[in-house]
Amino acid sequence: MNITTPTEIQALSIPAILSGGDYLLASHTGSGKTLGYLLPIVELMKRQEREQGFVSRPKRPRVLVLGPTKELAEQITGVAKALSHHVKLRVTCANSTGLPLNKQVEILSRPNDLVVSSPTKLLQHVKEGNLFYRDVQWL
């Protein structure tokens, strides 16, 4: 991630999200929206860990990221996993294409900081008891 200057959407969104509140990001494809929300959320998670000692629990992610399709969910997961190489962050995709359902369930049953999913797959996992919302603080 050889990033030196934030894009326009990142310059607007990062300080806003860090200050708290609810935000909706809208910009064209390739504008940097994904990092525009992931970077400040990861920073807030890390602050929480340092200040409060919070750790993720099995089946209870602290962050849920919803993508409208499984393809977009997998793309977002790729960006989040790239970030995880720079900070300790456990990321998984509930839409893991090619993985059998039992393997997806096994992965989701571990402590994950951030779970990316399409709405349909997320609801399926919640209904089946594979994920719980209790610890979700960022959506």
Using an 8 Å Cβ cutoff, are 62 and 113 in contact? yes
Q: Is the pTM of this model over 0.85?
A: yes
56 pLDDT higher than 90: no
pLDDT confidence of residue 98: 77
Backbone angles phi, psi at 5, to 5 degrees: -130, 135
Domain ranges of the chain: 8-127
Proportion of the chain above pLDDT 90, given as a percent: 78
Confidence class of residue 62 from pLDDT cuts 50, 70 and 90? very high
Tell me the average pLDDT of the chain.
Answer: 92
63-93 per-position pLDDT tens digit: 999 999 999 999 999 999 999 988 989 999 9
Structure token pair of residue 75: 């793309």
Sequence-distant (6+) residues with CB within 8 A of 81 are: 91
Sequence-distant (6+) residues with CB within 8 A of 99 are: 107
3 pLDDT higher than 90: no
- Chain centre to alpha carbon of residue 1: 17
Helices (H), the chain: 8-18, 33-52, 70-84, 101-108, 119-127
Domain 8-127 annotated CATH 1.10.10.10 = no
1 pLDDT higher than 70: no
What distance in Å separates the CA atoms of residue 72 and residue 117, rounded to the nearest whole number?
9
Confidence class of residue 124 from pLDDT cuts 50, 70 and 90? very high
pLDDT confidence of residue 2: 73
What distance in Å separates the CA atoms of residue 34 and residue 91, rounded to the nearest whole number?
14
55 pLDDT higher than 90: no
